Amino acid sequence: MGPLKGIKVIEFSGIGPGPFCGMLLADLGADVIRISRKDAEGMENKFDIHNRSKRTIVADLKNKKSVDEILKLISQVDVIFEGFRPGVMEKLGLGPDVCLEINPKLVYGRMTGWGQDGPMSKMAGHDINYISLSGALNAIGRKDSNPIPPLNLIGDYGGGGMHLAFGIVSGLIHSIRTGEGQVVDSAMVDGSLSLMSFFYSLKEMGHWDDKRESNLLDGYAHFYDTYECKDNKYIAIGSIEPQFYSELLDKLGIDDERFLDQYNKKLWPELKQVIASKIMQKTRLEWQDIFSDTDACVTPVLDMSEAQENIHNLKRNAFTNIDGFNQPSASPRFSKTKPEIKYNAKKVGIDLDDICNEFGLSKEALSN
């Protein structure tokens, strides 16, 4: 079992970053109990990766008897977290003041887009909105096009669920050391700002231009971009360091004095054209063979189906098959306490009997 074995967590059901946080905790061994609305009871989707390895119950959070039973459950766990707008949990009688009074050691996680306070705290939003305020969205895309949403990886997952999981585990360490619980206010706009720290450093040092595709890491450099191959597939080149860059030029068969001045930004556009022409002469597989076992930092750009068949991913067991469903394995890996995916997402509410018996709860009060 993983390093969080024995930690009991309540997750109030939501979408995106909250369930992702719960998945990370469950993957590492925590006993995560997901509380869903009554009208979700019986729903089942084994392909919902975010809800793997979690137990599941349903409750009517607008019913005082149900809330009282949930408070009994909260008094016996280490962590709860929720993703409602600020003030909702307080209205339900499940706010942090109430919960920490009955369980002073509790870590109370709160996942929102804008945070618990501030002029936008109660406004609706999605990943694209949160990262638009952090500077991240403006930085991504080609110079002659609109900013491109990087899926919802930065706000929801990197700056959201993963930051919340980190905050919860940090809060747990404090609680174990001191017996003192606390609230973790995890806002996706804050998290995406944190992820942008390096680029704020570069900007302050004069090494970053706010214009898209004008910098080292945003696709402007000829040695840090994707290129189309003969078969309309792509490779990724990231030969930043001089020794890796030298190997890139050698494998591409480029002997051109202009390339010796690697960091002369004025030359980058024309050098990129030379590399693009070279790459178009062979298929992605041919380039993959040429650059295998080199330090040129050149890799194939794979889609999700191809990623599952990649030899490195296979050798690393980067995917786990549970009941015929191939999915990303638990991460990170530990030398002593091995993470484990116990099962796919369960039918909603199926663990109600077991959890009521284990924690001394009234099934009738939760079910009505």
Chain centre to alpha carbon of residue 142: 24
What is the domain extent for residue 290?
224-311
Active site (annotated) includes residue 353 = no
In a domain, 284, yes or no: yes
CA gap 277, 229 in Å, rounded = 9
Claim to verify: residue 38 and residue 77 sit in the same structural domain:
yes
DSSP string, 219-284: T-STTEEEEE-TTS-EEEEE--SHHHHHHHHHHHT---GGGGSTT-GGGHHHHHHHHHHHHTTS-H
| 319 exposure class (CB count in 10 Å sphere: 0-12, 13-18, 19+) | middle
pLDDT at 42: 86
Claim to verify: residue 147 and residue 89 sit in the same structural domain:
yes
- The sign of the CA dihedral 119, 124, 127, 132 is negative
Using DSSP, state whether 169 is helix, strand or coil: helix
* 61: confidence class by pLDDT, cuts 50, 70, 90: very high
- Tell me which of 48, 68, 126, 174 is the catalytic residue: 126
In a domain, 325, yes or no: no
In a domain, 17, yes or no: yes
Confidence (pTM): 0.95
Q: How far is CA 192 from CA 128, 152, 198, 205, in A?
A: 11, 11, 12, 21
DSSP 50: G
User: CA angle, corner 17, sides to 99 and 349, nearest 5?
Assistant: 65
Claim to verify: residue 31 and residue 145 sit in the same structural domain:
yes
* 252: confidence class by pLDDT, cuts 50, 70, 90: very high
Active site (annotated) includes residue 174 = no
CA gap 216, 226 in Å, rounded = 13
Percent of the chain with pLDDT over 90: 95
Claim to verify: residue 50 and residue 141 sit in the same structural domain:
yes
- How many C-beta atoms lie closer than 10 Å to residue 356's C-beta? 19
Claim to verify: residue 54 and residue 143 sit in the same structural domain:
yes
Residue at which a domain ends, from 296, 311, 326? 311
Percent of the chain with pLDDT over 70: 100
Claim to verify: residue 24 and residue 92 sit in the same structural domain:
yes
355 torsion bin: left (phi>0), alpha (psi -120 to 50), beta (else): alpha
Claim to verify: residue 52 and residue 191 sit in the same structural domain:
yes
End-to-end CA distance of the chain: 35
Helix ranges (H only) for the chain are 17-27, 64-74, 88-91, 96-102, 127-132, 162-178, 188-195, 197-204, 242-252, 268-279, 284-291, 304-307, 311-315, 352-359, 363-367
174 torsion bin: left (phi>0), alpha (psi -120 to 50), beta (else): alpha
pLDDT in tens, 131-145: 999 999 999 999 999
In a domain, 115, yes or no: yes
- Tell me which of 27, 78, 127, 156 is the catalytic residue: 156
Q: Per mean pLDDT, which range of 34-43, 74-83, 211-220 is the poorest?
A: 34-43
257-290 as b/e: b if 16+ CB within 10 A:
eebeebeeeeebeebbeebeeebeebebeebbee
Claim to verify: residue 338 and residue 307 sit in the same structural domain:
no
In a domain, 3, yes or no: no
What value does the mean pLDDT of the chain take? 96
| 209 exposure class (CB count in 10 Å sphere: 0-12, 13-18, 19+) | middle
CA gap 303, 139 in Å, rounded = 24
And the tokens for 306?
Answer: 């191809």
Claim to verify: residue 126 and residue 240 sit in the same structural domain:
no
Claim to verify: residue 103 and residue 145 sit in the same structural domain:
yes
Do 58 and 33 touch, CB atoms closer than 8 A?
no
pLDDT at 39: 83
Chain centre to alpha carbon of residue 257: 43
pLDDT at 106: 98
Claim to verify: residue 294 and residue 340 sit in the same structural domain:
no
Q: In CATH, what number is assigned to the domain containing residue 37?
A: 3.40.50.10540
In a domain, 317, yes or no: no
How many domains does the chain fold into? 2
Look-up: residue for tokens 């063979």?
289
pLDDT in tens, 344-364: 999 999 999 999 999 999 999
Claim to verify: residue 64 and residue 170 sit in the same structural domain:
yes
Q: In CATH, what number is assigned to the domain containing residue 282?
A: 3.30.1540.10
In a domain, 360, yes or no: yes
In a domain, 168, yes or no: yes
CA gap 100, 78 in Å, rounded = 11
* 368: confidence class by pLDDT, cuts 50, 70, 90: confident
Q: Does residue 27 surpass a pLDDT of 90?
A: yes
Span 271-297, average pLDDT: 97
- Which residues, in sequence order, are bridge partners of residue 98? none
* 82: confidence class by pLDDT, cuts 50, 70, 90: very high
CA gap 341, 328 in Å, rounded = 10
